[in-house]
Structure 1
Amino acid sequence: MKTFLALYMGSDTPMDPSSLSDETKTKGMAAWGQWMADHAAAVVDGGGPLGKTKKTGADGVSDIRNRVAGYVIVRAESHEAAAAMFENHPHFAIFPGDSVEIMERLPVPGQG
């Protein structure tokens, strides 16, 4: 089995979560919980939502914005199988998220 990092991507325009209706929140969280239950055997780290971003580079530390809204780590036989897990995911099917980006976790060079 391979391990994959899935990033829940938000939109280019920040959204205020309090603007969602209670019905959307309830429906979305129920669907998210069901997705987690349906894929429990594949979930390595349930992840969660992410907050504001700081960037550290040669020029120091600065506040930045990116579209990463959260993450989860899963196991699957292939990249295609991992991506298929997220088809119609509540992040974008119910909530106003944009997409889920899935990438394979590769071995660290020199460590096997």
Structure 2
Amino acid sequence: MPRFLAVYTMKPEDLASFRNLPKAEQDAVDAVGIKEWSAWEERNASSILDPGGMVGKTTRMTKEGVVNAVNSFCGYLVVEAESADAAARLFEDHPHITVFPGDGVDIMPFLT
């Protein structure tokens, strides 16, 4: 069955807005989101090949050397599905976009 890299995305300004909320509000969102995230993982366990994880600031290697970089990537996982559309549908109700300030999940097939 085809494998897909699923990359969680979040606009840096949306993360900054979330981090500017009072700590109690952030904690309330986290409490709901983490519970729903665990439930989502349980419902989709048969499709998850690598649970991945959340990622931090980006460092990029370029022809000129190591530089700081900014992108919208904030986490990833690897799923298995019949097609890219089927893989994308796994994330329709994901708390990354329904609870947290995430703006999407990019789905990319592995080619090898």
Q: Same fold (TM over 0.5)?
A: yes
Secondary structure class of the residue paired with 2:34: helix
Identity of aligned residues (%): 38
Q: Deviations over 1:10-48 (max 9, x none)?
A: 114142547443221111000000010011111011011
Alignment of 1:1-112 (within 5 A): 1-13=1-13, 14-15=15-16, 17=19, 19=21, 20-107=25-112
User: Offset of 1:88 from its aligned partner?
Assistant: 2.2
Aligned residues: 107
1:110 aligned partner: none
Structure 1 unaligned blocks of 5 or more: 108-112
Residue identity in the other structure for 1:99: G
| Structure 1 residues 91 and 82: alpha-carbon distance in aligned structure 2, compared to 1, 3 A threshold | same
- Return structure 1 stretches of 4+ with deviation > 6 angstroms: none
Higher helix share: 2
Distance, in Å, in 2 between the alignment partners of 1:51 and 1:12 is: 11
Residue identity in the other structure for 2:82: E
What TM-score results when the alignment is normalised by the length of structure 1?
0.89
Secondary structure class of the residue paired with 2:85: helix
User: Offset of 1:78 from its aligned partner?
Assistant: 0.9
Q: Contact conserved, 2:19 with 2:26, CA < 8 A, in 1? A: no
Distance, in Å, in 2 between the alignment partners of 1:18 and 1:49 is: 20
